Structure 1
Amino acid sequence: MTLSRRNLIQGAALAPWFGILPRFATAELAIGSATLTTLSDGSLMLPGDFIFEPMPKDELAPILADYNLSAERLEPECNLALYRDGTNNVLFDVGSGPDFMPTAGMIVDSLDAIGLAPEDITHVLFTHAHPDHIWGLLDDFDEPLFYDATYMMGLAEWDYWWNPETVNAIGEARAAFAVGAKRRMEAIEDTVVLFDDGEEVLPGIMATATYGHTPGHMAFEVRQGSEAALVVGDAIGNHHVAFRKPEWESGSDQDAAQAIDTRKMLFDRLTAEQMTLIGFHLPNGGIGQVDRDGDGYRFVEAG
């Protein structure tokens, strides 16, 4: 099955029949005197082939059975990370907003549940510009929702989506992604702060290139002293096949080969350093660690 805007919307229309309800603050981690909290933006309804299409079906089937997953439909969580250090309230990505899927776009409610409003966000750091990460940038008046925030994005990611040729080169299935990203980026073009791999973008927050899912995807190491966590966005996109078979191509990645190299690099680092990760689509808030499991890995939820 080829992913298209129509496929996604048709799948999303089924969501109310499956009882998907928004959750709010889902998990929290202390890093020194700061905190990382994951806030729900809801969930997605995706056709299974969005991820599984290039994978060997005979080897895939037992993995799906182990995780009680359907090959036809996936319902991944969307977890936005919020870093608070007493000075800055930093939101990693902005979620889907109201225009992508009816099961997503819950970030304002999730912030309200912990006593924050959009104006309390001081910075927004983007991992990448896919719809469920950037379409929540605009409010009902097509103005930036987090209107007092400084918006920050990796230079390579910005250049890719800003390029007028991207909409033609990305393929018909993702053309709407490019149009939607550009529209939202235009709202912040005069004020956005761009950065490169390896830069400390804010005190205690380091950008790490994790290209492949998109051409300029970034992860972020958050550190105070010896305590650290890695916000990985979609570089590790799920808790099942990405962990069990990191060498498999995923249909969700724009450059599948590069994404494989990135996953392997991240798993090597996360296991070697026993570092906590925060994954946008990982379950139950997305905070946990990586353990080796035979030839692959497994996600160990925090707590």
Structure 2
Amino acid sequence: MKITRRSLLATSGAAILSSTLPRRGWTETRVELDGGIEILTLSDGNLTLPAEFIFGPMPGDELAAVLARFDMDPSAPLTPPCNITLLRHGDTLALFDAGSGTAFQSSVGALPDALAAAGIDPLDITHVIFTHGHPDHLWGALDDFDEALFADATHMMGRIEFDYWMDDATVESIGAERASFAVGAKRRLEILADDMVLFDDGASVLPGVTALLTPGHTPGHMAFVIGEGAQAVMVLGDAIGNGHIAFARPEWTSGSDQDPEMAAATRGRLFAQITAADMTVIGFHLPGGGIGRVVQGSDGFTFQPEM
């Protein structure tokens, strides 16, 4: 397994027209596996979240002590990165998630520019495989005209997740703070539905890529294992949603998860599986390009980005 990182610099179309607009840079992290498999992460930008979105249900005194290890203020806004995974193997060019698009937050939606910087046209994408239906993972599948951005791609989602967001009752049960998530997901999935391929836990979504049901963050959240044995790589999505408290205290419930207790149990199972197999992991909101290793210590786990 070979892992490399490089900085990419690109200008949006608007920036080309106006030299007064800022240029954006991204970091590309690349993993090369045997058999000609190549995995990249590209940045869609970063979210901006209030601290209580994650830390709200956690014990305050203990939380501050743990976050001090990471030089984090438990009351400061969070700015987690958004790492899009891209798999290249033969004629396959598959994205895991599609980013936020332009309708969610101003600090995200950079994936089209990041793809351009990497020399990839959206029409070259053959598959878009969703971990789940939250805005930062799904909304970028459509452009500003509600057309599929990856128009020639096969779009794929776990059956449980798809059915959840398509259910009219979800907007009523999800809670007021996430009602817009439900409305936005249903509208986008209705547009994509005719060409959507659904799959279940354990499915081979592509040759060498196996779906793994990891519920809790959302009801049908999926992770994906690419390859096998010593070279296996797990695309986590948001099943392990940050590089700090989710590792140090995976048993604590997080405000970011729709079913906090189930999500904590899922994290526990994943950490056991990942460490037993010494897997490389890719996390949507993990630092350093999102690719790294899980290290178990005497007091929780740590994430070590591959540099």
TM-score w.r.t. length of structure 1:
0.91
Q: Higher RCO, 1 or 2 (CA under 8 Å, sep at least 6)?
A: 1
The correspondence of residues 142-291 of structure 1 with structure 2, limited to 5 A, is 142-223=146-227, 226-291=230-295
Are the aligned partners of 1:23 and 1:42 in contact in 2 as well (CA < 8 Å)? no
Q: Which one-letter code corresponds to 1:174 in the other structure?
A: R
> Counterpart in 1 of 2:144?
140
Q: What's the counterpart of residue 56 of structure 2?
A: 53
SS where residue 140 of structure 1 aligns?
Answer: coil
Separation (CA, whole Å) in 2 of partners of 1:293 and 1:60: 18
Deviation of 1:227 (Å): 1.8
Report the CA distance between 1:70 and its aligned residue.
2.5
Return the alpha-carbon distance in structure 1 between the equivalents of residues 139 and 253 of structure 2: 26
Alignment coverage as a number of residue pairs: 284
Tell me whether 136-145 or 236-245 shows the greater mean CA deviation: 136-145
Q: Distance in 1 between matches of 2:97 and 2:23?
A: 21
- Say which SS state the counterpart of residue 258 (structure 1) adopts: helix
2:84 to 80, 84, 87: 80
Write out the 4+ residue segments of structure 1 that deviate beyond 2 Å after TM superposition: 20-26
* Amino acid aligned to 2:253: E
- SS of 1:230 mapped into structure 2: strand
- 23 and 237 in structure 1: CA distance in 2 versus 1, 3 angstrom threshold: farther
- For the residue of structure 1 that corresponds to 2:86, the secondary structure is strand
Q: State the distance in 1 between where 2:158 and 2:33 align.
A: 24
Residue of structure 2 equivalent to 1:27: 29
Displacement of 1:86 after TM fit? 1.9
Secondary structure in structure 2 of the residue aligned to 1:188: helix
SS at match of 2:194: coil
Distance 1:203 1:120 in 2: 19
What is the match of residue 68 of structure 1?
A: 71
Q: 1:119 to 1:159 in 2, by over 3 A?
A: same
How far 1:31 moved relative to its partner?
Answer: 1.8
Q: CA deviation at 1:22?
A: 4.7
Query: For 2:232, what is the secondary structure of its paired residue?
Result: strand
Structure 1 unmatched ranges of 5 or more = 1-19
In structure 2, the partner of 1:121 is 125
Give the percent of matched residue pairs that are identical in Structure 1 and Structure 2.
54
Q: Runs of 5+ in structure 2 lacking a partner?
A: 1-21
Range that drifts further, 60-69 or 263-272: 60-69
